[in-house]
Amino acid sequence: MITIVDYGMGNLASVSNAIKRYTDEAVVSSMPDDIKKTDKLILPGVGAFKDAYDEIDRRGLINPILDFIKSGKPFLGVCLGLQLLFTKSFEDGEHKGLDVIKGDVISFQKDKGVKIPHMGWNNLKPEGSNCPLLKGVAEQAYMYFVHSYYVVPEDTSVIVTTTDYGSKFCSMIWKDNIYAMQFHPEKSQEQGLKIIKNFVSL
């Protein structure tokens, strides 16, 4: 079973539809018990960091999510679901995250001559990792992004891909059973759907 976490801010329909291309065993749920017993977990997200963290906390989902990650079973974070894994975010102040991956979430800088948010198609640059989610995905594949903030891991070895937007930023990470990306694979057509398929097949 694959469970997609519903905390009221995720791009649930598009993620669910993408997963259901490859398996019938997928549910959208905000129930802690569903998170505890699932085989794979997806944390999607669109919106503000603090609002998302607070809503996950209000629904009693923080410990179930952390316990699931510690179990070693496959975990996928998408967009805000990537950012929430980090120690803290500087979006509209300073706010704590789940602290699964050490590092910060920071804003693009307007002085780099780029429009904020970063919205649209941009390509991935592999950083030397043999990430199983990228099996069959074209090198320099284009993915769909919508974000104003990006992650800065303390341990750069977790970085799977980077993307250039004014400057280079981390667009995908992998650490043990944790896979997460800033772009939306469910909205990235054939190449993005390969990532979804690879996660389902883990």
Q: Residue 29, Cβ neighbours under 10 Å: how many?
A: 15
Q: Which domain holds residue 194?
A: 2-200
Domain count of the chain? Answer: 1
Q: Which residues contact 35 (CB under 8 A, 6 or more apart)?
A: 3, 5, 29, 41, 61, 64, 65, 68
Burial class (CB in 10 A: 0-12, 13-18, 19+), 75: buried
Residues known to be catalytic: 79, 184, 186
The CA–CA distances, whole Å, from 162 to 30, 53, 86, 112, 195 equal 32, 25, 17, 17, 16
pLDDT-derived band at 11, boundaries 50, 70, 90: confident
Identify the pLDDT of residue 108.
94
pLDDT digit string (tens) for 55-111? 999 999 999 999 999 999 999 999 999 999 999 999 999 999 999 999 999 999 877
Identify the pLDDT of residue 181.
98
Q: Which residues contact 92 (CB under 8 A, 6 or more apart)?
A: 48, 49, 50
pLDDT digit string (tens) for 22-59? 999 999 999 999 999 999 999 998 889 999 999 999 99
* Sign (positive or negative) of CA dihedral 144, 177, 41, 197: positive
Q: CA–CA separation, 144 vs 4, rounded Å?
A: 20
Q: Are 41 and 75 in contact (CB under 8 A)?
A: yes
**CATH number where 22 lies:** 3.40.50.880
Identify the pLDDT of residue 158.
97
Identify the pLDDT of residue 102.
98
The pTM score is 0.96
Residue found by looking up tokens 């896979």 in the block: 179
pLDDT digit string (tens) for 174-201? 999 999 999 999 999 999 999 999 999 9
Look at residue 186 and give its three-state secondary structure.
helix
pLDDT digit string (tens) for 117-144? 999 999 999 997 799 999 999 999 999 9
